[in-house]
Chain A
Amino acid sequence: MFASEVASPYSINEATAFLRRFPQAVPAAACTRLIIDPAFSKRPITILSLSNIKELQAISRTDRFLDIGACVSMTRIINLPNISSLEPLKKTLLTIGSASIRNRASLGGNICSPDSFGSAFPMLSCMEASVELRSGNQSRWLRIHELVSEAGRPALPKGSFLTRLRLPIRDWEFSCIVRKGNSILPGEHGTCFAALANIEKNAISELRIAVAGTIQVRSRDLEMNLNGKKLPLAAKDIENSRHQFMETAIEAGLAPSIAISSADTVRAFLQNLSGESA
């Protein structure tokens, strides 16, 4: 990595002041992704390192939400005790890199990459996380799906950086995470599938499904169609859902082969849901 200049502020205010002076600066957390990015091996970059800012390392909890600082490492999240609603996210994080990478890699850095979605993104999207962004003197909360452009691509607003993630505390009976493709980073050759579901009185009471690689796809129509359906689902409903997801994914711009394989995962998830709840 060719870092021509590095600022390592100790407060959010200093960081925003630096970003105002150097709008082209690249925010960095643990750098586990930046350092292997070929785009930065020759081209000089100015780094705004966020790793010394204490607030970005904080974790706090209320009855309804868990707030996680953008620079909190994945290992710290995996080791958080007694929060059952975090299990789907923990399961997701365990698929990322290795233990020694997760000791440093941050959740914020995972979802802020400009060119493809990190593996945690689709699960955070299913959990309907919110993110706090900071630019200038202002901080604002966005729903995580507002970090996705209309074209389905990552869209972190320029000149801002992520300070916190807010996860609703609620339990999910069924969660599923499936990684496809063998690239290190999800992208052209890899995708991450995430799904969450709750069942009440033997019917689907809530369902969320997302897939992300270079493009993120979440079909709310499909989720709504299946909400309230009795289990086990009819084979026809499962096939229709597979088809609907595939069409949405192709329309969103996923390569047809990836769209088909993601739709197959939707089908497998729904079949499992039907089987497991029986």
Chain B
Amino acid sequence: MNIQFILNGEDIQIVAEAGDRLSDILAGRHYSDSVHQHCGYGVCGRCMVLMDGLPVNSCLVPAYEVRNSEVISWEGLIQTPEYQLIEIAWQTHKLELCSFCRPAVSLLMASLMDSSSRPSDAAIEETLSALNCRCTAPERLFAAGRTVVNLKEGRNKPDVR
């Protein structure tokens, strides 16, 4: 099946089996080094991408669903001005995540910045819990998430907890 989609602002045209997973396409064909097919079951969150603006587990997206969509992986995100705000939050909260978690958390934070209304504490917690990081306290991720949202809104004072 021919599949056209936009990846990090670039038009992509590939031939794939309809039931192939987006994570396999992105990682297996070297479109993205940050997408990992780890559990393949929607649990770990290491295959996170933004699809049409929303974070999704790319291991749960069949190729035919990708047609005509816009996909952003971490490689695309780091080119955007929003990513600089995310970096400020990392530094403010001294977060050092592994190479699996950092891309996924960045994409989740980017989606928080993009929400149409100010995300509640519960929404920040819920969004960030889509990544299954076993070593960083959820409160620290939450604090960085809140900082990112504040920075985006122009409230310069990051919440440091």
Contact = CB atoms under 8 A, between A and B. Distances in A.
A3 interface: yes
Contacts of A173: none
B55 A100 contact: yes
A98 B42 contact: yes
How many of chain B's residues touch chain A, expressed as a range? 20 to 34
Contacts of A75: 54
Given A5-B18, A98-B129, A99-B127, A49 B61 contact: no
B137 interface: no
B62 A31 contact: yes
Contact of A35 (B43, B62, B127): B62
Contacts of B18: 3-6, 47
Contacts of B129: 98-99
Interface string B26-41: 0000000000000011
A100 B61 contact: no
Contact of B60 (A2, A4, A36, A51): A36
A132 to B, nearest CB: 24
B17 A3 contact: yes
B130 A31 contact: no
A103 interface: yes
A5 B48 CA distance: 27
B61 A31 contact: yes
Contacts of B51: 104
B22 to A, nearest CB: 10
A1 B21 CA distance: 8
Contact of A32 (B40, B60, B108): B60
A198 B36 CA distance: 48
A108 to B, nearest CB: 15
Contacts of B65: 30-31, 49, 51
A100 B48 contact: yes
Contacts of B130: 98-101
Given A47-B64, A99-B129, A36 B45 contact: no
A99 B67 CA distance: 23
A184 interface: yes
A35 B55 contact: no
Interface string A17-60: 00000000000001110011000100000010101000000000
B61 to A, nearest CB: 7
A151 interface: no
A3 B62 contact: yes
A31 B67 CA distance: 15
A49 B64 contact: yes
Contacts of B1: 6
A30 B61 CA distance: 8
Nearest to B104: A100
Contacts of A30: 60, 65
A205 interface: no
A40 B43 CA distance: 19
- Of listed B18, B43, B57, residue having the most chain A CB within 10 A: B18
A113 to B, nearest CB: 15
B57 to A, nearest CB: 5
B119 to A, nearest CB: 11
Contacts of A5: 18
Contacts of B59: 35
Interface of A: 1-6, 8, 30-32, 35-36, 40, 47, 49, 51, 75, 94, 97-101, 103-104, 184
6 contacts: A1-B19, A3-B17, A3-B64, A99-B130, A100-B57, A184-B41
Given A30-B60, A35-B19, 4 more contacts: A6-B64, A40-B19, A100-B45, A100-B56
